Structure 1
Amino acid sequence: MTSFATPPSPVDTAGADAALSEYCDLEKEVCRLRARQVRALERYSSCVGSRRSATAELALASSVTVRQAEKKLNLAEALVHRLPCTLAAMDRGELDELKASKVAEPTAALSDEQARRVDEIIVRRLAGKNSSTLRRAVNGVILTVDPDGYERRSILRRRARQIRLHHDDETISTLTAKLPVEQASAIYASVDRAARQLRRLPGEVRTTEQLRADVFAERLIAARGGAADIRADIHVYVDLCTLAGLNNDPAELAGYGPIPAWLARQIATEPSSTWSRLITDPDTGQLLSVGRRKYRPPAGLDDFIRVRDRECGSPGCHRPAQFTDLDHVRAWGAAKGETSADNMGGRCGFHHRVKDEPGWQHIPHRDGGYTVVTPTGRRYVHQPAPLHEPRTAA
């Protein structure tokens, strides 16, 4: 049988050029609008006394995370007060918000005078640079402008090494580690070497990328040679019928969201897993009780609140409840706030502190939810999602 390759479609050069020109023109308009947003954010920040409060309200108003809101405020203040040349480049449509951040973030530790010096130099080197190349160029200028400070900050950054967990879609998460460059390079080289050795074994069907990931996970969780299993405290919510294999309704992993039934059953049947009985209201799907038949008996109210809330109680924050602080919605003591399920919720450290900022109000609901009122008077309702759909017969 003879096969023929499909001939390439003729190129409409004029049409492509016109479309690309329109895109570039619109991109310049977007950059100019971003510059206006930057100035508006700086004015907003100057009107709010507490930076923590300003960050929390911006996160709610623009439906972004606290970290993203903080980065937006930092960028706005840096561009307006310390990096006028970079902001002027945005006004001209030459620089987008992402590239502007690549100038602002590395210069944050500099004095105002040093930052302006870097700003004046780098604005002449913007042409043709993507965001990654621009950041490298900025760091090169910083090394020239402030070599001693760069060395001091390098030492501090190495002390601030850390790992972070970010949940992605479809049962995958991203684990990142900030490490000294020589350690990170050595770890990657070691994992890569082991993966390539495994790849050469007869019958091995995993790709090199898959093998790198598997070697990395194996070394951290249960290294070869008899290291003890690492037990992690995670909360998985799955109904009994799904657990028994009678249906395949999605389950929920606290801090992540929906997971497929097969994964919930896999986690539940691990030898180290423990089960708790949850009683829910059939009309609403909300939690009524946490059973006490468990390897480690629950601490009553504490367990109930963490299981009910699943995540930090602030809208948009997905910190798992088992890693949050239990807090009175209406303050205990003078405000006569009760230590009860109706008046308590789990909050991450940041939102726990925001709650006590001037102008913030939290009005509790009886089912564990509450209404948040911000200093500008905006209202946001937080409602724990039901553990299942209502089951009352029609």
Structure 2
Amino acid sequence: MPSVVVAGLRDSLAAIDAVTLSDHERVALVAELERLKAAAAACQARATDALRRSRGVVAPQDVARSVGSEVALARRESPSCGDRFVGLSRALVHEMPCLMAALTEGLTSERAAVEVVRETATLSREDRAEVDRRIAEVLPRLSARAAGRAAARVAAELDAASVVRRMEAAVKSRRVSVRPAPDGMAYLTVLGPLRDVVGAHAAILRRARSVVGGQCEDEAPYDRGVGAVSADTALRLLAGLLPGQVQPVEVQLVMTDRSLLGTGDPERPVDEPARIPGHGSVPAPVARSWIRGAGPASVWLRRLYTSPDGRDLVALESRRRPFIGGLRRVLVLRDDVCTTLYCDAAVVHVDHAHPVRDGGSTSAWNGNGKCVRCNLVKEAPGWRVVVERASPHEILTVTPTGHAYRSQAPPVLGWGSETHPPPDPPPTGDSALERHLERMLAAVA
């Protein structure tokens, strides 16, 4: 089988001892491995397109979605990246032979191929082939971004109208998104028309420079630079807040009572990191400073109940206000992100692993958080999702080709946190849990 041959090649790479090589040989090895990666991407593209064509009996939209998700799991990436690779594979195999040849020979990279295919997406098959022919000679000398710019330049020359239509259509995709960044930060991205975004950026910079220069009576710089003031101004304006006003949006910060209050199980560390579902861990001192800085009027405490070893979330208290959907909140907190392996998208749908139409129950055991895309994909022919076990909650996803992928819900404090055995029960009197909860509530009050 080809997969066995490739696996043997992969194993042979581990036998290379880079320590015994000269510097010239090491650099040559790195270069050749880069060419091997490109050739592997070309081989993946051929296999992916053959997989897509083998599903011709299914509706085209279902084919694209299902194959994209299967490829994403195999490549260990998100479903949207899987979709992009399916489109790339189709273009390489059927429309851009020169680009495919360069990738197969290791003369360009997968990233450069993505840029070229994206910049020619609106062209006809004939014009795309012409772009492919005209940039083929210079492609090995171009970086990924330069290859994309070269393709865009030829595309604008061949069919300016399609480029204009693409720019007009792009306006419909304007949006605001957020993604985590290192060190407890996050990126808030506004995708919009160039002139509007540039104008907004210029206005924020003018305001920031005025604040830093001491020219604004309503706001002082407080040792902030232009960049920090720009970020603070943009976030405040987007949230509709006045200077100094507290952000009223709920952020679900999960942390142990030990880390928050210093009480509880003395065997657990005081600085055990907290977690924001969907965004990752936050150092305990930072989480405590956030809570102190928010003020008592804007902080709510909700008790979460875990399994005895502290790994899994099993229930939560719902005393803040009456609401419908407490079970949904438990599942969002438990699963953190979409339960499809490698997806990492935010949980939007809370889904029944075993469908209700087939007798599946609405319970924490049978529930799992999904993004919109993955929840739709699992309904396509040949897909199956099964709950393997309850603690830790484990989901088995089986694709139409029979490949199986297991994903687990993270520990309640996130991946990398330790589990702690339950303490010995007290000999007599009230339970340790009741006494501990009373102390915790008294400390907050």
Change in Cα spacing, 1:135 to 1:266, as seen in structure 2 (3 Å) is same
SS of structure 1 residue aligned to 2:136: helix
| Residue 390 (str. 1) matches residue 423 (str. 2) | no
Change in Cα spacing, 1:363 to 1:92, as seen in structure 2 (3 Å) is closer
| Residue 158 (str. 1) matches residue 171 (str. 2) | yes
**Partners of 2:361 and 2:167 in 1: how far apart?**
48
Aligned to 2:384: 361
| Residue 170 (str. 1) matches residue 183 (str. 2) | yes
- Check the 8 A contact 1:248/1:261 in 2, yes or no: yes
Matched residue type, 1:181: L
| Residue 288 (str. 1) matches residue 314 (str. 2) | yes
- Check the 8 A contact 2:345/2:371 in 1, yes or no: yes
Aligned to 1:235: 252
Change in Cα spacing, 1:148 to 1:19, as seen in structure 2 (3 Å) is same
- Check the 8 A contact 1:276/1:294 in 2, yes or no: yes
| Residue 42 (str. 1) matches residue 42 (str. 2) | no
| Residue 347 (str. 1) matches residue 370 (str. 2) | yes
| Residue 372 (str. 1) matches residue 393 (str. 2) | no
- 156-165 or 383-392, which deviates more: 383-392
By how many angstroms is 1:127 displaced?
Answer: 5.7
- Check the 8 A contact 1:222/1:230 in 2, yes or no: no
Change in Cα spacing, 1:92 to 1:230, as seen in structure 2 (3 Å) is same
**Partners of 1:31 and 1:346 in 2: how far apart?**
35
| Residue 219 (str. 1) matches residue 237 (str. 2) | yes
Change in Cα spacing, 1:320 to 1:85, as seen in structure 2 (3 Å) is closer
Cα RMSD (Å): 2.8
By how many angstroms is 1:81 displaced?
Answer: 1.0
SS of structure 1 residue aligned to 2:146: helix
- Check the 8 A contact 1:277/1:293 in 2, yes or no: no
By how many angstroms is 1:347 displaced?
Answer: 1.2
By how many angstroms is 1:358 displaced?
Answer: 1.6
- 140-149 or 121-130, which deviates more: 121-130
Aligned to 2:338: 312
Cα deviation 1:253-290 (Å, max 9, x = unaligned)? 10012111123224445243432211112135322221
Q: Which of 36, 39, 53 is the equivalent residue of 1:32? A: 39
- Check the 8 A contact 2:273/2:281 in 1, yes or no: yes
**Partners of 2:143 and 2:227 in 1: how far apart?**
27
- Check the 8 A contact 1:198/1:204 in 2, yes or no: no
- Check the 8 A contact 1:274/1:295 in 2, yes or no: no
SS of structure 1 residue aligned to 2:77: coil
Q: Which of 193, 210, 225 is the equivalent residue of 2:228? A: 210
Change in Cα spacing, 1:386 to 1:370, as seen in structure 2 (3 Å) is same
Question: TM (normalized to structure 1)?
Answer: 0.85
Aligned to 1:10: none
Change in Cα spacing, 1:314 to 1:142, as seen in structure 2 (3 Å) is same
**Partners of 2:359 and 2:338 in 1: how far apart?**
23
Aligned to 2:360: 337
By how many angstroms is 1:37 displaced?
Answer: 2.8
Change in Cα spacing, 1:97 to 1:317, as seen in structure 2 (3 Å) is closer
**Partners of 1:105 and 1:360 in 2: how far apart?**
29
By how many angstroms is 1:218 displaced?
Answer: 2.9
- Check the 8 A contact 1:280/1:289 in 2, yes or no: yes
By how many angstroms is 1:72 displaced?
Answer: 1.8
Q: Which of 64, 68, 85 is the equivalent residue of 2:98? A: 85
By how many angstroms is 1:173 displaced?
Answer: 1.6
- Check the 8 A contact 2:48/2:71 in 1, yes or no: no
**Partners of 2:351 and 2:38 in 1: how far apart?**
42
Change in Cα spacing, 1:184 to 1:56, as seen in structure 2 (3 Å) is same
Change in Cα spacing, 1:369 to 1:234, as seen in structure 2 (3 Å) is farther
By how many angstroms is 1:104 displaced?
Answer: 0.3
- 304-313 or 65-74, which deviates more: 304-313
**Partners of 2:304 and 2:324 in 1: how far apart?**
12
By how many angstroms is 1:177 displaced?
Answer: 1.8
**Partners of 2:253 and 2:96 in 1: how far apart?**
47
Cα deviation 1:53-86 (Å, max 9, x = unaligned)? 2222222222211122222222111111111111
Aligned to 1:11: none
SS of structure 1 residue aligned to 2:123: coil
> Any stretches of 5+ residues in structure 1 without a counterpart?
1-14
- Check the 8 A contact 2:340/2:370 in 1, yes or no: yes
- Trace 1:245-264 onto structure 2 (pairs within 5 A): 245=262, 247-264=270-287
Change in Cα spacing, 1:230 to 1:326, as seen in structure 2 (3 Å) is same
SS of structure 2 residue aligned to 1:342: coil
| Residue 110 (str. 1) matches residue 140 (str. 2) | no
Aligned to 2:156: 143
Cα deviation 1:340-383 (Å, max 9, x = unaligned)? 22222221111111111122222223344322222222222222
> Any stretches of 5+ residues in structure 2 without a counterpart?
1-21, 215-219, 264-269, 414-418, 425-445
By how many angstroms is 1:171 displaced?
Answer: 0.9
Matched residue type, 1:109: T
SS of structure 1 residue aligned to 2:356: coil
Percent sequence identity over matched residues?
26
SS of structure 2 residue aligned to 1:236: coil
- Check the 8 A contact 2:336/2:410 in 1, yes or no: no
**Partners of 2:339 and 2:40 in 1: how far apart?**
34
- 217-226 or 188-197, which deviates more: 217-226
Matched residue type, 2:253: V
Change in Cα spacing, 1:231 to 1:122, as seen in structure 2 (3 Å) is farther
- 158-167 or 299-308, which deviates more: 299-308
SS of structure 2 residue aligned to 1:341: coil
Change in Cα spacing, 1:386 to 1:161, as seen in structure 2 (3 Å) is same
**Partners of 2:321 and 2:118 in 1: how far apart?**
48
Aligned length: 376
Question: TM (normalized to structure 2)?
Answer: 0.76
